[in-house]
Amino acid sequence: MSGQPEDGFTPTGTIASHADRRRVVFATVIGTTVEWYDFFIYSSATALVFGQLFFSPFGKGTEQILAFLTIGISFLFRPLGAFLAGHFGDRIGRRAVLMITLILMGASTALIGLLPTAQVIGFAAPVLLILLRVLQGVSAGGEWGGAVLMAVEHAPKKKRGLFGAAPQIGVPLGLLLASGVMAVMATIAQGDAFTQWGWRVPFLLSFVLILVGYYVRRRVEESPVFVEIAERREQTRMPIVQLFRKHALLVIVAALVFAGNNAVGYMTTGGYIQNYATDPEGPLRLDKSPVLWAVAGSAVTWLIFAAFAGWISDRIGRRTTYIAGWILQLVGVVALFPLVNQGGIWSLFAGLAILTVGLGLTYGPQAALYAELFPASIRFSGVSISYAIGAILGGAFAPTIAKGLVEATGTTTSVTWYLVGMTLLGLIATLLLRDRTGIPLGPDHEAEQSVSPIRGLSRT
């Protein structure tokens, strides 16, 4: 008996209990929700106040673009986090890396809430803000791969998509929590009070959330796939070297799959829609609080469709689910700005909710899809680095690109075409992959796992 989790057994040969699996799913959801809450409140604050608070010395015409650029800068450091987490995750285990990334994200987020503004310390303020955002990027680069593998490698073979949806729904849950807390603070601390101190409260709340996440994750056992690899002393010495030597093309294709989803998703998670809708000099000029509640509401629909996508992918396959998702995402992209530009909160919510149908279907199965693409011995490195590169190509500068396109063309139609292009890029990348739904994940099947899933290739 190989002890693979897809057959429902631990490495010692005993059947994994439903309680153990529920604990894994719960810990994965809580941990990723806390991580992405921390990441997304930065985007919300960037859209609402960071331009004027930290980048005002650079002039009114550029302060918001520079603020959005800090979102993208953090993505440039995700590969560093992915490389470090991938190396140590394949060497010392998934669980230890997850604990480190959680603490790093929480500490850097809380410190942002304590930063003095440019009015107090001048140019040192944006420098310190960027340094802390870089630490957030390093943490985010390492977090996702570990959470994915803890969920998928504990899952029964026929429920990998459903279990893998747990870290995926942590993203819309994090957006829901971040937007909800920001909306509450925008209601409590209205006008100048929000700019002076209200925005800081959601960042300081990270102190509490980090304790919750740490407690929950401590109670979860290590991934059974890694335990088996460790017991056999089969850890790869240099997993990243092996990954790029044998699977470089696969990393690129997998990254493009995520880029197509991530660029579109960062219209809200990156704060662009929030800024566009509330800009006092823009065409809509809506109040902060209702816009944040509309974004929070769309996070609920995103969560529902991401969970559904994970479940349905176990029945119809990851590839088929993705293809349907890309088609629906294309519909959502085309409908987004015509609805948003009507200027009402409900039309704004409708545009975002329609968009989340396709976003959910192209995000919910990603954990299982990625885990099934890479061999066990380098899987942490493979999924982490593919995700980090996809984030750079997709969401890193999507808000900045959207802002620049509107300023250059005077219309959101240019942003729609940009998002259409990214969606089609994700579709093409998906069509290049074979469906590997249900492939064995344990170390006994490295030869089968090493066969390239790229159509037309036998091996990388």
Structural domain spans, the chain: 13-450
What's 394's DSSP letter? T
Give yes or no for a contact between 239 and 377, defined as CB atoms under 8 angstroms apart.
yes
First to last CA, the chain: 29
CA distance 432 to 439: 18
Query: What angle, 0 to 180 degrees and rounded to 10, lies between the N-to-C axes of helices 288-316 and 318-340?
Result: 160
Work out the number of other CB atoms within 10 angstroms of the CB of residue 157.
16
CA distance 192 to 80: 38
CA distance 303 to 317: 20
Fold (topology level) of 13-450: Growth Hormone; Chain: A; (1.20.1250)
What's 52's DSSP letter? H
Per-residue pLDDT of the chain (460 residues; tens, 9 = 90+): 334 444 444 433 334 567 777 778 888 888 788 878 888 898 889 888 898 899 988 877 688 888 888 888 888 888 888 888 777 777 766 777 878 888 888 899 999 999 999 999 999 999 999 999 999 888 888 778 778 888 888 888 899 999 999 989 988 998 899 989 999 998 998 888 999 999 999 999 988 888 887 777 776 666 666 676 666 554 556 778 889 898 999 999 999 999 999 999 999 888 899 989 999 888 999 998 999 999 999 999 999 999 999 999 999 999 999 999 999 999 999 999 999 999 999 999 999 999 999 999 999 999 999 999 999 888 888 998 999 899 999 988 898 899 899 999 999 999 999 999 999 999 999 999 999 999 998 888 888 988 989 987 754 4
The amino acid sitting at 132 is L
Question: C-alpha 240: how far from its chain's center?
Answer: 21
The amino acid sitting at 43 is S
CA distance 292 to 275: 10
List % helix, strand, coil for the chain (3-state, nearest 5): 75, 0, 20
Q: If you search the block for the tokens 């690129």, which residue do you land on?
A: 252
What's 442's DSSP letter? S
Cβ burial 176-209 (10 Å sphere, 16+ → b, else e): bbbbbbbbbbbbebeeeebeeebbbbbbebbeeb
CA distance 308 to 263: 21
Give yes or no for a contact between 77 and 177, defined as CB atoms under 8 angstroms apart.
no
Contacts 24+ apart (CB under 8 A), 48-51: 48/182, 48/186, 48/194, 48/199, 48/271, 48/274, 48/275, 48/278, 48/288, 49/194, 49/195, 49/199, 50/129
Q: What are phi and psi of 328, to 5 degrees?
A: -70, -35
What's 344's DSSP letter? -
Among residues 424, 295, 414, 440, the alpha carbon closest in space to that of 362 is found at: 424
CA distance 262 to 256: 10
CA distance 288 to 64: 16
